[in-house]
């Protein structure tokens, strides 16, 4: 996969895209990353990318010309899924990450100030929001999406099975997990996990996923497709 970003602060990506999962994915050849500076498509001495808002109002807007010209250049040889981050976009979730992981090339445009001139949004194939809050720019959102998508690529994680039981992948939160020591400050690892009985462990994990989801994210449980009988059984066994 090839991920590209278009931003007025491309240097923000340097450490993140070279570290941990993303860095290893690049080393293995599973991910190619290129960051583009939006100011490269300006034509004045100040490399101006923003201007005042028609009709008045606080702040500045990113101008349409640099973004349009950038995409003219960047997409002339190969297509890409173009993403813009905006509070009015689709809520980002695991299902969307899985969908984007199937793309050959993602181009994420990162806003600043009061956002973009409205005409810019017509360039996007996907408008995405990370949640009901406001960031100072789209760079952090692009990093989050890059991380969530990249870890789904084949061979990126140590085991492709690592993503199977991730929270949200099955519509539920992931079950509790433990490591050594068996007892710490009076808290004991559940005996079933020490039993070596994998069928019993799988059953316990399923039950605990349901219980954890019911306690922390009942909205997910309602949309999980589980039968009332299975949910009730897990809760009664708690």
How do the domains of the chain map onto residue ranges? 2-150, 165-237
Q: Tell me the C-alpha distance between 217 and 1, whole Å.
A: 32
Q: Tell me the C-alpha distance between 26 and 13, whole Å.
A: 14
Instruction: Please tell me the predicted confidence (pLDDT) of residue 238.
Output: 65
> Which member of 50, 114, 165, 174 is catalytic?
114
Q: Is 122 helix (H, G, I), strand (E, B) or coil?
A: helix
Cα 73 to the center of its chain, rounded Å: 26
Same topology between domain 2-150 and domain 165-237: no
- Considering only the top CATH level, what class is 165-237? mainly alpha
Domain 2-150 has CATH 3.30.429.10: no
Residue linked to tokens 């991730």? 166
Instruction: Please tell me the predicted confidence (pLDDT) of residue 165.
Output: 56
Instruction: Please tell me the predicted confidence (pLDDT) of residue 158.
Output: 67
> Which member of 79, 87, 91, 181 is catalytic?
87
Is 166 among the residues known to form the active site?
A: yes
Is 119 among the residues known to form the active site?
A: no
Instruction: Please tell me the predicted confidence (pLDDT) of residue 181.
Output: 96
Neighbours of 165 (CB within 10 A): 14
- Pairing type for strands 50-52 and 60-62 reads antiparallel
Instruction: Please tell me the predicted confidence (pLDDT) of residue 237.
Output: 82
- pLDDT more than 90, % of the chain: 89
Exposure letters 19-34 (e unless 16+ CB within 10 A, then b):
eeebebbbeeeebebe
**Looking at the chain, which runs of residues are DSSP E strands?**
2-7, 32-37, 50-52, 60-62, 81-91, 105-109, 126-129, 183-184, 187-188
Instruction: Please tell me the predicted confidence (pLDDT) of residue 170.
Output: 72
Beta partners for 188? 183
Is 151 among the residues known to form the active site?
A: yes
> Which member of 147, 166, 174, 205 is catalytic?
166
Helix (H) or strand (E) holding 148: helix 139-150
Mark the ranges of the chain whose per-residue pLDDT is less than 70: 158-169, 238
Q: Tell me the C-alpha distance between 38 and 31, whole Å.
A: 22
Is 44 among the residues known to form the active site?
A: no
Q: Tell me the C-alpha distance between 168 and 236, whole Å.
A: 23
Q: Tell me the C-alpha distance between 197 and 204, whole Å.
A: 11
């Amino acid at each position: 996969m090839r991920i590209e970003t278009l931003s007025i602060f491309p240097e923000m990506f340097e450490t993140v895209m070279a570290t941990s999962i993303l860095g290893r994915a690049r080393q293995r050849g599973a991910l190619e990353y290129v960051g583009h500076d939006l100011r490269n498509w300006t034509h004045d001495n100040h490399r101006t990318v923003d201007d005042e808002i028609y009709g008045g109002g606080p702040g500045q807007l990113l101008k349409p010309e640099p973004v349009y010209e950038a995409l003219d250049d960047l997409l002339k040889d190969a297509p890409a899924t173009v993403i813009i981050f905006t509070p009015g976009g689709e809520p980002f979730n695991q299902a969307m990450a899985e969908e984007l992981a199937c793309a050959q090339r993602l181009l994420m445009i990162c806003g600043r100030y009061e956002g973009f001139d409205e005409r810019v949004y017509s360039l996007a194939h996907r408008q995405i929001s990370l949640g009901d809050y406001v960031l100072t720019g789209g760079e952090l959102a692009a990093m989050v999406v890059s991380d969530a998508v990249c870890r789904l690529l084949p061979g990126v994680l140590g085991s492709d099975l690592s993503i199977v039981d991730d929270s949200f992948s099955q519509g539920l939160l992931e079950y509790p997990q433990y490591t050594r020591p068996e007892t710490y400050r009076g808290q004991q690892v559940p005996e079933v996990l020490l039993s070596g009985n994998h069928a019993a462990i799988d059953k316990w994990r399923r039950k605990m996923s349901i219980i954890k989801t019911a306690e922390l994210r009942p909205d997910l449980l309602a949309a999980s497709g589980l039968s009332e009988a299975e949910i009730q059984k897990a809760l009664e066994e708690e």
